[in-house]
């Protein structure tokens, strides 16, 4: 009976440990959030990105920049400039709130009298919670050559070469296939 209980406890702990350590499958570029790509004329586009509140505003801005570079290359251009559009200036990071944990259920004096109590130093730590989904949008103007592009224009190919692999994009802006797990070779 004792061995059966021990075996059950070991199996249960291994099962829970296996679930806790199984990594989730990484998201592809298109699964990071909702993208919008609105052509305003032949070389001007409005690129938008909306994601869940758990992504930081800085990361959302970076992903929008990568999407702008991808759109630029896919439309046959090499350079783009983020225009000083009034809608770009009015964008603000999402609202955040500070949340404090609920007070302990027993009066403080109870804990002082209990000899085995050791207070948790992280219990009263406030947490910052993002309330709104993150939204970023840029109006970009695209250029075919470096001579026609302004000095402060971004090189779309350079952005895709440097940041593209981080988000699963090739240097041409194509979505790379998700890596498949390969079994290790048997040892001899």
Query: Using one digit for the tens of pLDDT, what is the confidence trace for 72-94?
Result: 999 999 999 999 777 666 677 77
Could you tell me the residue range of the domain that residue 136 belongs to? 28-96+126-174
Q: What is the pLDDT of residues 36-58, one digit of tens each?
A: 999 999 999 999 999 877 888 88
What's the whole-number average pLDDT of the chain? Answer: 79
How many other C-beta atoms lie within 10 A of the C-beta of residue 180? Answer: 5
Q: Are 82 and 88 in contact (CB under 8 A)?
A: yes
Separation between Cα atoms, residue 29 and residue 36, nearest integer Å: 13
Asked whether residue 112 is assigned to any structural domain, the reply reads: no
Asked whether residue 15 is assigned to any structural domain, the reply reads: no
Q: Are 86 and 179 in contact (CB under 8 A)?
A: no
Separation between Cα atoms, residue 140 and residue 72, nearest integer Å: 9
Asked whether residue 152 is assigned to any structural domain, the reply reads: yes
- Residue 94: the pLDDT is 76
Q: What does the pLDDT average to over 105-131?
A: 62
Asked whether residue 56 is assigned to any structural domain, the reply reads: yes
- Residue 78: the pLDDT is 95
How many other C-beta atoms lie within 10 A of the C-beta of residue 175? Answer: 14
Asked whether residue 187 is assigned to any structural domain, the reply reads: no
**Is residue 183 over pLDDT 50?**
no
Separation between Cα atoms, residue 94 and residue 114, nearest integer Å: 44
How many other C-beta atoms lie within 10 A of the C-beta of residue 165? Answer: 12
Q: Both tokens of residue 18?
A: 């296996």
Q: Which residues contact 136 (CB under 8 A, 6 or more apart)?
A: 48, 49, 57, 60, 61, 63, 64, 91
Q: Are 33 and 52 in contact (CB under 8 A)?
A: yes
Asked whether residue 116 is assigned to any structural domain, the reply reads: no
Asked whether residue 188 is assigned to any structural domain, the reply reads: no
Separation between Cα atoms, residue 75 and residue 78, nearest integer Å: 9
Total count of domains within the chain: 1
Asked whether residue 57 is assigned to any structural domain, the reply reads: yes
Separation between Cα atoms, residue 49 and residue 31, nearest integer Å: 11
């Amino acid at each position: 009976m004792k061995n059966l209980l021990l075996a059950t406890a070991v199996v249960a702990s291994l099962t829970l440990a296996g679930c806790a350590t199984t990594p989730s499958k990484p998201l592809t570029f298109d699964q990071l959030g909702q993208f919008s790509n609105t052509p305003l004329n032949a070389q001007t586009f409005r690129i938008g990105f909306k994601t869940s509140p758990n992504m930081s505003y800085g990361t959302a801005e970076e992903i929008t920049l990568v999407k702008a570079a991808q759109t630029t290359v896919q439309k046959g251009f090499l350079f783009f400039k983020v225009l000083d559009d009034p809608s770009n200036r009015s964008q603000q990071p999402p609202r955040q709130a500070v949340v404090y944990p609920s007070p302990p259920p027993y009066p403080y004096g109870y804990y002082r009298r209990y000899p085995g109590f050791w207070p948790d130093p992280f219990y009263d730590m406030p947490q910052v919670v993002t309330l709104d989904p993150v939204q970023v949008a840029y109006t970009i103007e695209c250029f075919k050559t470096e001579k026609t592009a302004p000095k402060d224009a971004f090189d779309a190919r350079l952005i895709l070469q440097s940041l593209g692999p981080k988000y699963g994009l090739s240097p041409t802006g194509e979505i790379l296939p998700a890596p498949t797990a390969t079994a290790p070779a048997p040892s001899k």
